Structure 1
Amino acid sequence: MSTRSLLAFGVLAVSVGALLPAEEAVDLETITRIRDEGLTNSKVMDTVGYLTDVIGPRITGSPQMKQANDWTRDQLQSWGLANAHLEGWRFGRGWSLERATVQMLSPTAATLVAVPRAYTPGTEGPRRGKAIKVKIESEADAEKYRGQLAGRIVLLSDARATRNPDKALFTRYSDKELEDLGRFDIAPSPRPGMPDRETITRRMRLQRFLREFFTAEKALATVEVSPEDGGVVTVGRGGSWVKGENPGVTALVMAAEHYNRIARLLDRQMDVELEADVRSRFYDDDPNAYNTVAEIPGTDRRGEVVMLGAHLDSWHAGTGATDNAAGSAVAMEAVRILQALDLRPRRTIRIALWSGEEEGLLGSRAYVAEHFGARGEPADPRERELPSFLRRETGPITTRPDHARLAAYFNVDNGTGRIRGIYAERNAAVVPIFEAWLRPLADLGATTVTLRHTGGTDHLSFDTIGLPAFQFIQDEADYETRTHHTNLDVYDRLQKGDLMQAAVVLASFVYDAAMRPERLPRRTAPREAPAPAPSPLPREAPTATR
Structure 2
Amino acid sequence: MNKIFKITVILFLSAIALQAQKKDAIVESIIKEANENSQLKNLGHELMDVIGPRLVGTPQMKKANDWAVAKYKAWDISARNEKWGEWRGWERGITHIDMVYPRVQSLRGTQLAWNPSTSDQGVTAELITLPMVNNQDEFKKWLPNVKGKLVMISMNQPTGRPNYNWEEFATEESFEKMKKERDEQTKAWRKNLSNIGYGRSLTTELEKAGAVGIVASRWSNGFGVNKIFSARTKTIPTVDLELEDYGMLYRMVEYGDKPQIKIVAKSKELGKVPTFNTIAEIKGTEKPDEYVILSAHFDSWDGGTGATDNGTGTLVMMEAMRILKKMYPNPKRTILVGHWGSEEQGLNGSRAFVEDHPEIVKNVQALFNQDNGTGRVVRLSGQGFLHSYDYLGRWLSAVPRDITKHIETTFPGTPGGGGSDYAAFVAAGAPGFSLSSLSWSYWNYTWHTNRDTYDKIVFDDVRNNVILTAILAYMASEDPEKTSREKIVLPINPRTGKQRTWPKPRSPQRKGGLD
TM-score calculated relative to the size of structure 2: 0.80
Measure the CA separation in 1 of the matches of 2:312 and 2:375: 9
Answer yes or no: is the 8 Å Cα contact 1:89–1:541 preserved in 2.
Answer: no
What residue number does 2:276 align with?
290
What residue number does 1:112 align with?
107
The change in CA–CA distance for 1:91 and 1:524 in structure 2 (over 3 A counts) is: farther
Superposed CA offset, 1:329-355 (max 9, x none): 110000100001143111101111111
Match of 1:261 among 242, 248, 251: 248
- State the Cα distance separating 1:368 from its structure 2 match: 1.1
Superposed CA offset, 1:357-392 (max 9, x none): 1111111111111112xxxxxxxxxxxxxxxxxxxx
Measure the CA separation in 2 of the matches of 1:135 and 1:66: 43
Match of 1:209 among 192, 201, 204: 201
What residue number does 1:355 align with?
341
TM alignment of 1:90-239, pairs within 5 A: 90-125=85-120, 126-135=122-131, 142-162=139-159, 164-167=161-164, 206=198, 209-228=201-220, 229-239=222-232
- State the Cα distance separating 1:456 from its structure 2 match: 1.0
What residue number does 2:294 align with?
308
What residue number does 1:416 align with?
374
CA RMSD of aligned residues (A): 2.8
Larger radius of gyration: 2
Superposed CA offset, 1:261-289 (max 9, x none): 11111111221111101012222142x21
The change in CA–CA distance for 1:289 and 1:142 in structure 2 (over 3 A counts) is: farther
The change in CA–CA distance for 1:141 and 1:55 in structure 2 (over 3 A counts) is: farther
- State the Cα distance separating 1:146 from its structure 2 match: 2.7
1:366 aligns with 2:359: no
Measure the CA separation in 1 of the matches of 2:67 and 2:351: 23
Aligned AA for 1:328? T
TM alignment of 1:429-444, pairs within 5 A: 429-439=387-397, 440-444=399-403
- State the Cα distance separating 1:136 from its structure 2 match: 8.2
Superposed CA offset, 1:285-332 (max 9, x none): 42x211100100001100111111111111111111111111101100
Structure 1 residue runs without a partner (length 5+): 1-24, 170-198, 240-245, 373-400
Match of 2:316 among 330, 333, 346: 330
Measure the CA separation in 2 of the matches of 1:112 and 1:78: 44
1:425 aligns with 2:422: no
What residue number does 2:459 align with?
496
Task: Number of aligned residue pairs: give it.
Answer: 446
Which is further off, 98-107 or 517-526?
A: 517-526
What residue number does 1:43 align with?
39
Superposed CA offset, 1:40-59 (max 9, x none): 11112211111001101111
- State the Cα distance separating 1:421 from its structure 2 match: 4.0
Helix, strand or coil at the partner of 1:93: strand
Helix, strand or coil at the partner of 1:92: strand
What residue number does 1:87 align with?
82
The change in CA–CA distance for 1:206 and 1:118 in structure 2 (over 3 A counts) is: farther
Answer yes or no: is the 8 Å Cα contact 1:460–1:530 preserved in 2.
Answer: no
TM alignment of 1:445-456, pairs within 5 A: 445-451=405-411, 452-453=413-414, 455-456=418-419
Percent identity over the alignment is 30
Aligned AA for 1:448? E
Aligned AA for 1:217? A
Measure the CA separation in 2 of the matches of 1:408 and 1:336: 19
TM-score calculated relative to the size of structure 1: 0.76
Helix, strand or coil at the partner of 2:267: strand
- State the Cα distance separating 1:441 from its structure 2 match: 2.3
What residue number does 2:51 align with?
55
Answer yes or no: is the 8 Å Cα contact 1:214–1:249 preserved in 2.
Answer: no
Measure the CA separation in 2 of the matches of 1:446 and 1:86: 35
Aligned AA for 2:409? V
Measure the CA separation in 2 of the matches of 1:36 and 1:472: 22
Superposed CA offset, 1:10-62 (max 9, x none): xxxxxxxxxxxxxxx99333222211111111112211111001101111110
Answer yes or no: is the 8 Å Cα contact 1:69–1:290 preserved in 2.
Answer: yes
Aligned AA for 2:113? A
- State the Cα distance separating 1:142 from its structure 2 match: 4.7
Answer yes or no: is the 8 Å Cα contact 1:132–1:152 preserved in 2.
Answer: yes
The change in CA–CA distance for 1:417 and 1:141 in structure 2 (over 3 A counts) is: farther
What residue number does 1:180 align with?
none
The change in CA–CA distance for 1:115 and 1:519 in structure 2 (over 3 A counts) is: farther
Answer yes or no: is the 8 Å Cα contact 2:386–2:485 preserved in 1.
Answer: no
